[in-house]
């Protein structure tokens, strides 16, 4: 991982012990080597972008993805998001469709989800880097240990966060979350392969806003 990459100070304090662990040192070295060998996404400056845009004390919703898009020019450091000039990825298109159905409105379908991050939505991929053309290629590098620690820290240190866990992989992360302090929403993944099996109609975005407002936190403007 290039030395110039920095994570926001608030996260650095929250995860201080994690950065000192041997697995993270090994992870950093291995990812740094991968960037030197060939195309890895996202751009090095965007690896920790989700953390730069959403401070831990501001997190209202966590949406968990698996790993960054592995196609050139697509990954922007936020789960499910991509650059505004790009076509809307299939899973994100289904997310927009569900939001539109829940709220009876039309989204502009801008694939850049920075405006969600600015409102307190942590768009977290379980792996923060990926080799070009090879999905989940960095899944066993140690990223999952790190992002599990992120979820655990948010669960332990804060209250009234909504965790959206879509698909079997994300659903397993429920074990890291204190359900007495937070809201866990689980369903099928929005991928075209599974959206019809329980993602469509899950009501997650409306449920999230209702929960946040019930606990005196401002709602998310999803569209």
Whose tokens are 């994300």? That residue is 170
Paired residues of 184 in beta bridges: 163
Number of Cβ within a 10 Å radius of residue 39: 12
Measured over all CA atoms, what is the biggest interatomic distance in the chain, rounded to whole angstroms? 50
Q: Provide the Cα torsion 15, 28, 146, 51; round to 10°.
A: 60
Q: Which of 67, 112, 140, 148 is catalytic?
A: 67
Tokens describing residue 134: 């090879």
Q: d(Cα 196, Cα 199) in Å, to the nearest integer?
A: 6
- Does residue 67 have an active-site annotation? yes
DSSP summary character for residue 75 = B
Q: Which residues are catalytic?
A: 67
């Amino acid at each position: 991982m290039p030395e110039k990459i920095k994570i926001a100070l608030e996260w650095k304090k929250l995860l201080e012990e994690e950065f000192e662990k041997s697995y993270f040192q090994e992870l950093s070295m291995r990812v740094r080597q991968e960037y030197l060998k060939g195309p890895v996404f996202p751009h090095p400056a965007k690896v920790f972008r989700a953390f730069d845009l959403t401070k831990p004390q501001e997190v209202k919703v966590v949406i968990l993805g698996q790993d960054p898009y592995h196609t050139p020019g697509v990954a922007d450091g936020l789960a499910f998001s991509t650059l505004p000039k790009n076509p809307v990825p299939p899973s994100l298109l289904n997310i927009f469709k569900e939001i539109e159905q829940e709220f009876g409105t039309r989204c502009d379908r801008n694939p850049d989800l920075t405006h969600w991050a600015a409102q307190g939505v942590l768009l977290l991929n379980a792996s923060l880097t990926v080799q070009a053309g090879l999905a989940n290629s960095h899944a066993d590098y140690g990223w999952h240990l790190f992002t599990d620690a992120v979820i655990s820290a948010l669960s332990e240190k804060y209250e009234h966060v909504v965790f959206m866990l879509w698909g079997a992989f994300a659903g397993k992360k429920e074990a890291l979350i204190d359900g007495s302090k937070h809201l866990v929403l689980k369903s099928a993944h929005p991928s075209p392969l599974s959206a019809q099996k329980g993602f469509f109609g899950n009501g997650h975005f409306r449920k999230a806003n209702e929960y946040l407002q019930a606990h005196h936190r401002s709602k998310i403007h999803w569209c």
